[in-house]
Amino acid sequence: EVQLVQSGAEVKKPGESLKISCKGSGYSFSSYWIGWVRQMPGKGLEWMGIIYPGDSDTRYSPSFQGQVTISADKSINTAYLQWNNLKASDTAMYYCARHWGPHDYVPFDPWGQGTLVTVSS
Amino acid sequence: EIVMTQSPATLSVSPGERATLSCRASQSVSSNLAWYQQIPGQAPRLLIYAASIRATGVPARFSGSGSGTEFTLTISSLQSEDFAVYHCQQYNNWPPGTFGQGTKVEIK
């Protein structure tokens, strides 16, 4: 079974750093793009960026470029989303999701269960 | 960046009735359009891809249509488990693979 399992909920203070993870199993991790999607409380889905673990090719939405860092360690089948200077406005649910097939123009499927990040002083 | 616009924001429907949701792209996305269902407290689930193909395990009461800039998701006879938020996403031109703002289907 193809599965993405994300790290647990986090509570942080403004200005702190954070790295959350997404571990893939049941497939060839290096061969599929993995993306990150933000959902702020009561809002829609926002495409943040995506990484190809095989060669670490990473693409960002202009809205998130410079605000977060996406990385992957293919030796342990894990992708990461990182912040260096959290803001209260980063409070949201963050999902990782895999491209449905080993191609560029496909939807996301499956999705991880989500990681809730709360930033509050 | 392609902008995806969904309408209506909220759709009130009685169980057993038909629901029609719309998604419009600011420029052509060919048929590279997906619909996702999100039940409160859960991650999104892929329903439809390539504008009209049901994902594995999706009931036949869900159907998608359209191409270019205009797309429709139809739920032929709403069941209790279908009351959720539905998101469209274009994956024709990324980054970013933009989502619509979502349509909430609620019980009338």
For B2-49, write each residue's pLDDT tens digit.
999 999 999 999 999 999 999 999 999 999 999 999 999 999 999 999
Cα A106 from Cα A99, distance rounded (Å): 6
Note the residue count of chain B.
108
The shortest CB-CB distance from A44 to any of B45, B96, B102 is to B102
pLDDT at res. B70: 98
Task: Collect all residues of chain A within an 8 Å Cβ-Cβ radius of residue B46.
Answer: 100, 107-110
pLDDT at site A101: 86
Rounded-to-integer distance, Cα B40 and Cα A114, Å: 13
The per-residue pLDDT for B74 is: 98
Residue linked to tokens 């959350």:
A20
pLDDT > 70: what percent of chain B? 100
> Among residues A54, A48, A37, which one has the least CA distance to residue A93?
A37
Count of residues in chain A: 121
**Chain A partners within 8 Å of B36 (Cβ):** 45, 107-108
Chain centroid offset of residue A121 CA: 24
Q: Which of B10, B42, B91 to mutate to test the interface with A (most CBs of A within 10 A)?
A: B91
- Inter-chain CB proximity A59 and B95 less than 8 Å: yes
- Chain B residue whose CA is closest to A48: B96
Average pLDDT, integer, range B67-96? 96
The pLDDT of residue A18: 98
Q: Residue A104, SS3?
A: coil
Which residues of chain A, if any, have pLDDT below 70? none
Give CA separation, A81 vs A52, A64, A93, B12, in Å. 14, 11, 12, 37
Res A24: pLDDT:
98
Residues of B in contact with A110 (CB under 8 A): 46
Q: Residue A103's pLDDT is what? A: 83
Q: Which of A59, A108, A115 to mutate to test the interface with B (most CBs of B within 10 A)?
A: A108
3-state class of A75 per DSSP? helix
**Is the separation of the CB atoms in B53 and B67 below 8 Å?**
no
pLDDT of residue A104: 84
CB contact under 8 A, B45 and A111: yes
